[in-house]
Amino acid sequence: MMKLRIIYLLFLLCSTSLLQAENGYELWLRYRPVAKGTSHTSYCMKNQKVMFPGETESLIAARKELQAGLSGLLDIPYTETKVLENNMLVVGTPQSVPLFKQQTFHAEIDGLADEGYLIRSCTIEGKKVTVIAARTDVGVLYGVFHYLRLMQTDHSLDKLHIQENPKLKYRVLDHWDNLNGTVERGYAGYSIWNWERLPSYKEQRYTDYARANASIGINGAVLNNVNAQAKSLRYDWLVKASGLADAFRPYGIKVYLTAKFSAPKEIGGLNTANPKDPQVRKWWKDKVEEIYSLIPDFGGFLVKANSEGQPGPQDYGCSHADGANMLAEALKPYGGIVFWRAFVYQNERHVDRVITGYNEFKPLDGEFADNVFVQPKNGPIDFQPREPFHPLFGGMPDTPLSLELQITQENLGHAGHLVYLGTLFEEILQSDTYEQGKGSTVSKVLQNYQKTHGISAIAGVPNIGTDLNWTGHLFGQANWYAFGRLAWNPDASAGKIAEEWARMTFSNSESVLSPVLKIMMMSRETYVDYTMPLGLNHIMNFGTHNGPEPWHDDPVWTAYDYHKITKDSIGVDRTLKGTGATGQYHVPVCAMFDDIKKCPQEYLLWFHRVPWSYKTASGRSLWNELVHYYYKGVDEVRQMQQIWNELDGQIDRERFEHVASLLKYQEQEAIWWRDGCLLFFQDYSGLPIPANLEQPKHSLKYYKNIPFPHDWKGHYE
């Protein structure tokens, strides 16, 4: 009896320890013991010993990670030895492990890109070993993360032969962090940069941030907001930034800063910031020299100019190219890069904002210095739940473009809604621009710059903050993860990436993976359905960008410009007969978007003005189709809740409850969107919401008067 009781107690202890409460801080690097009995475990157990010489800071970082990973995953102490043994891991570069030089696979190492790596099962001096090798120390670090990922995701470790090189060179996070600690469009607390204590005090969080980024191949971080403050370039702030650069360097992450165009005036004592003025040019050169004296591997500048009130070269009658090239010239001797954003519009009403970016930048193609990227957002408006790809992709063959994605969910429910963005990123990357005929996807366009210009890039605006779990919503972590994995390989599959993340974040068990993946893979479409289906866009709340406000109407910023609703129709005519936006795409794409019959339904109201009675592909009228999607969206959030409930007891309580309660919140917000929008549209169309559907509980007036209690964080202090 006693024995039974002890066994039972032991069982309880084991099962609760398996489901220990987790707050999410460890991200996907949890390194919990791999389940016993999985296919590769026995191999792992034998493969415990490691040969890993080398004392550079990146090799030390890699070794620490391997140590944490192996001892956690295998639940045994990490052991290093200097003698070759069967089944061991041998890790390093030909410099740190000279015996690599005599191996046949040495040529493979030689053929790797700077950050590439090789993971191979092979025989060295008669011993069967697994090698993690690279030409550079950072390559080794990336290889270590990949090897650990194989174990975390229950991948076999037998007969490995993996050769990886990043497909894009610059893979950067563009933080919108203000110097006062707030984060513009950040929903996970405050900035993780503790400026007050920098440069001397290095928080553990900086290392964990760098580890997380390195694990997915991110190699750059712009520290501060594109709505910039000149003082970030002052000596005292540069010294602080150098502290972060020091913390990130071992992990292969370079620091970048935004450059406020008016800085020569604001902090340089000059009376102009004219890019043609020799004194201004000298000021930037001196400033750059100062930066490199503090941060020898400084990455470069990110600039938002002549957009939303930011200063820029146009203030002096100069072009974007004039402005970018001035900075590029200053950075060039040090190998620095300029990211010049193509998100440009002034705070005034335009004929059509969708065509502005292309119109301003297309004529400048070929005029930028060779260390400049022009950086458009994924779509021509502004990080909407769904946009067609930006027509500059495919339209600037002579200028390397960097794609800017948004990881923070500014227009996708903030950190309150579960929306997996991997599918959104993939949709953009796999959109065909037809630049060089069929197959010229955005992804290929980005990669092609490597061949034509020797550089290539992608950027993401992160969702990271001081919240315990980094991203507010636990599933926000998946978006950070997906960005990094797609930056490394923009042709990777969003579904596979979701699976990797889910395995590492939750478990390798099918009964956990299946519901988690179902939810993730439906979530973005669901969000589009209950907020802005059928190509609707920019009808969110004016300030917070969360919640519906299609009724917002002021002289400068009116939602009516984006939906143009009347009693007869809705949508904007952006065809060749309308604003001409379709004409900014290559012929086959233009022809598809321009013809209402060929235009994919998800972009219908983006490109076309459509009567309420228009018969859609489903056979329903436009009105009924809109109603259908809004209701479908809410239903799907309810489905997501049910699916999530399948995980009750299968994952730890803390993370289960966290997501369950946010899904309830998401349901309320989805209803708010659905009812608010449909009642507003109904005011014009005069058409009914079919009686068999759950009817809105409140009047339009009620929705119009819902206060937006969460003040959005302003651009500056």
Q: Does 41 bind ligand GCW (CB under 6 A)?
A: no
Among 261, 343, 389, 434, interactor with ligand GCW by CB under 6 A: 343
Work out how close the CB of 310 gets to ligand GCW at its nearest, in angstroms, rounded to a whole number.
8
Q: Does 417 bind ligand GCW (CB under 6 A)?
A: no
Among 304, 353, 563, 658, interactor with ligand GCW by CB under 6 A: 304
Say if residues 547 and 673 touch (Cβ distance below 8 Å). Answer: yes
Q: Among residues 352 and 500, whose Cβ is nearest to ligand GCW?
A: 352
In one-letter notation, the amino acid at residue 677 is C
Work out how close the CB of 387 gets to ligand GCW at its nearest, in angstroms, rounded to a whole number.
13
329 included as an active-site residue: no
Q: Among residues 227 and 463, whose Cβ is nearest to ligand GCW?
A: 227
Residue with CB nearest ligand GCW? 382
Q: Among residues 255 and 461, whose Cβ is nearest to ligand GCW?
A: 461
> Which helix (H) or strand (E) segment is 445 a member of?
helix 442-453
Q: Does 261 bind ligand GCW (CB under 6 A)?
A: no
Q: Among residues 228 and 241, whose Cβ is nearest to ligand GCW?
A: 228
Q: Among residues 100 and 176, whose Cβ is nearest to ligand GCW?
A: 176
Q: Among residues 375 and 399, whose Cβ is nearest to ligand GCW?
A: 375
Among 226, 338, 492, 540, interactor with ligand GCW by CB under 6 A: 226
Q: Does 549 bind ligand GCW (CB under 6 A)?
A: no
Binding to ligand GCW (CB under 6 A): which residues in 551-590? none
Q: Which tokens hold the place of 389?
A: 């790809």
Q: Is the peptide bond before 696 cis (omega within 30 degrees of 0)?
A: no
Work out how close the CB of 701 gets to ligand GCW at its nearest, in angstroms, rounded to a whole number.
27
**Candidate list 410, 525, 529, 625, residue with the active-site label:** 410
The dihedral of CA 516, 427, 378, 375: what is its sign?
positive
Tell me how far apart the alpha carbons of residues 658 and 239 are, in angstroms, rounded to a whole number: 39
DSSP 144-183: HHHHHHHHHTT---SS-EEEE--SSSEEEEE--B-TTS-B
DSSP 85-125: -TTEEEEE-TTTSGGGGGSTTHHHHHTS-TT-EEEEEEEET
420: Cβ contacts below 8 Å, ≥ 6 apart? 475, 478, 479, 482, 494, 498, 519, 520, 521, 523, 524
Q: Which of 210, 281, 287 is nearest to 250 (CA)?
A: 210
Q: Which tokens hold the place of 122?
A: 């092979």
Work out how close the CB of 225 gets to ligand GCW at its nearest, in angstroms, rounded to a whole number.
6
The per-residue b/e assignment along 509-535, b for 16 or more CB within 10 angstroms, e otherwise, is eeebbebbbebbbbbbbbbbbbbbbbb
Work out how close the CB of 191 gets to ligand GCW at its nearest, in angstroms, rounded to a whole number.
14
Tell me how far apart the alpha carbons of residues 625 and 225 are, in angstroms, rounded to a whole number: 40
Tell me how far apart the alpha carbons of residues 132 and 194 are, in angstroms, rounded to a whole number: 35
Tell me how far apart the alpha carbons of residues 395 and 585 are, in angstroms, rounded to a whole number: 8
Tell me how far apart the alpha carbons of residues 683 and 686 are, in angstroms, rounded to a whole number: 6
Q: Does 630 bind ligand GCW (CB under 6 A)?
A: no
Q: Among residues 210 and 222, whose Cβ is nearest to ligand GCW?
A: 222
What x-and-dash track marks residues 175-214 binding ligand GCW by CB under 6 A? -x-------xx-----------------------------
Work out how close the CB of 359 gets to ligand GCW at its nearest, in angstroms, rounded to a whole number.
18
Q: Among residues 90 and 183, whose Cβ is nearest to ligand GCW?
A: 183
Q: Does 174 bind ligand GCW (CB under 6 A)?
A: no
Q: Does 303 bind ligand GCW (CB under 6 A)?
A: no
**Candidate list 360, 382, 426, 549, residue with the active-site label:** 382
Tell me how far apart the alpha carbons of residues 445 and 200 are, in angstroms, rounded to a whole number: 42
Q: Among residues 435 and 549, whose Cβ is nearest to ligand GCW?
A: 549
Beta strand segments in 331-473, E: 337-341, 372-375, 402-406, 457-461
In one-letter notation, the amino acid at residue 603 is Y
Work out how close the CB of 411 gets to ligand GCW at its nearest, in angstroms, rounded to a whole number.
8
Among 174, 382, 426, 427, interactor with ligand GCW by CB under 6 A: 382
410 included as an active-site residue: yes
What x-and-dash track marks residues 3-22 binding ligand GCW by CB under 6 A? --------------------
Say if residues 632 and 410 touch (Cβ distance below 8 Å). Answer: no
Q: Does 390 bind ligand GCW (CB under 6 A)?
A: no
Say if residues 487 and 493 touch (Cβ distance below 8 Å). Answer: no
Q: What is the dihedral of CA 202, 206, 208, 213, to 10 degrees?
A: -150
Residue 264: count of CB within 10 angstroms of its CB: 25
Q: Would you report the helix, strand and coil content of the chain in percent, each value rounded to 5?
A: 45, 10, 45
Work out how close the CB of 402 gets to ligand GCW at its nearest, in angstroms, rounded to a whole number.
14
Work out how close the CB of 714 gets to ligand GCW at its nearest, in angstroms, rounded to a whole number.
9
Work out how close the CB of 491 gets to ligand GCW at its nearest, in angstroms, rounded to a whole number.
26
Q: Among residues 292 and 542, whose Cβ is nearest to ligand GCW?
A: 542
Q: Among residues 178 and 569, whose Cβ is nearest to ligand GCW?
A: 178
Q: Which of 32, 462, 426, 423 is nearest to 213 (CA)?
A: 462
Q: What is the dihedral of CA 315, 320, 326, 332, to 10 degrees?
A: 160
DSSP 270: -
How many residues lie near ligand GCW (CB under 6 A)?
9
Q: Which tokens hold the place of 405?
A: 């994605």
Work out how close the CB of 410 gets to ligand GCW at its nearest, in angstroms, rounded to a whole number.
6
Q: Which tokens hold the place of 568?
A: 């007869």
**Candidate list 108, 266, 277, 308, residue with the active-site label:** 308
Work out how close the CB of 343 gets to ligand GCW at its nearest, in angstroms, rounded to a whole number.
5
Q: Does 227 bind ligand GCW (CB under 6 A)?
A: yes
Q: Among residues 103 and 406, whose Cβ is nearest to ligand GCW?
A: 406
Say if residues 406 and 461 touch (Cβ distance below 8 Å). Answer: yes
Q: To which residue do tokens 């020799």 refer?
A: 278
Work out how close the CB of 713 gets to ligand GCW at its nearest, in angstroms, rounded to a whole number.
9
Q: Among residues 115 and 410, whose Cβ is nearest to ligand GCW?
A: 410
Q: Does 353 bind ligand GCW (CB under 6 A)?
A: no
- Angle, nearest 10°, between helix axes 442-453 and 422-429? 60
CA angle 683/687/690 to nearest 5° reads: 120
Tell me how far apart the alpha carbons of residues 151 and 146 are, in angstroms, rounded to a whole number: 9
Interface residue list for ligand GCW (CB under 6 A): 176, 184-185, 226-227, 304, 308, 343, 382
Which residues are the active-site residues? Answer: 308, 382, 410
